[in-house]
Amino acid sequence: MDGILLVDKPSGITSNYLVQKVKKHFQSLIGKTVKVGHTGTLDFFATGLMVLTIGKATRFTEYFQGLDKEYVAKGYLGKITDTYDIQGEVVEEKDCNIGKEKLKNIILSFKKEYLQYPPPYSAKRVNGKRAYQLAKKGITPNLKPKKVKIYDIQIINIDLPIFEIKIFCSSGTYIRSLIKEIGDLAGCGAYTVALKRTKIDSFSIDMAVSLDELLEKDLEAIKRLIIPLDKSLPFIPQITLDEGFDKRFITGQRFKIPFDTFGIVKVFSKDGKFLGLGKVNEEKLLKPEKVIV
């Protein structure tokens, strides 16, 4: 059981709780502990796509991070909460007299690259502590803005004071912050009432299984859902080594290759066996990074 599993996280649980539930289910089916990890958290109230790494795939978690994502979110105008979402306490309330057309223009103006401040209730570290730990103590964390990119933003529906949008964005974008920023430009603030992650790179929510369904499946059914490691990194280019070079790769040797591919690559033997990941420098020298054979 080595590969990735796409799961649709329900609202009302943490990402870690979901991982532990899956891990316990696997253990009950197999009779031994199976390594299970995830490639990026979702907020407690949020739903949607999570990529779980299973078995040897847990060693490859870092390569699934930093991928572009798609979300569907609902914002509520006229109120600001301390967490920027439905879980928090209302800290400010204003009348909102904005019209639909003006709100549409504000929303669409966020299709850009800009510096975004993370929410105070976030996992960002400030002087060695998580921002949310400071916020819970009443301390305003000194958070630095991060460059994010909104590749596309679409309006699904506006029924004031609620608006619903779809966002395709770079990794590290906080949708809670985006909703608040839209509210700030509207002159009355806003907070996130619903959030669903629908895509991570080429992985879609349509490919995912719900947690409840997963916990009802037997081992053979689960194995059919797991995407093998060699097929779970479609965003990384691949190379095939000539006979003899596969042994050099799996023993950790560096050697030159006749390819024009640079950076991280998937490495296969001539007979189609996935050997792991390597890194190619400008001199076409291949260095083994993660070997699984």
- What letter would DSSP give residue 85? B
Q: Is 260 a catalytic residue?
A: no
Q: How many CB atoms lie within 10 A of CB 204?
A: 13
Q: Look at residue 128 and give its three-state secondary structure.
A: coil
Element (H, E) at 4: strand 3-9
Catalytic residue among 2, 8, 43, 85: 43
Q: What are the φ and ψ backbone dihedral angles of 128, each rounded to 5 degrees? A: 85, -5
Question: CB burial class (10 A; 0-12, 13-18, 19+) of residue 228?
Answer: exposed
User: What does the alpha-carbon distance between residue 228 and residue 230 come to, in Å, rounded to a whole number?
Assistant: 6
Q: How many CB atoms lie within 10 A of CB 143?
A: 18
- By annotation, the residues acting in catalysis are 43
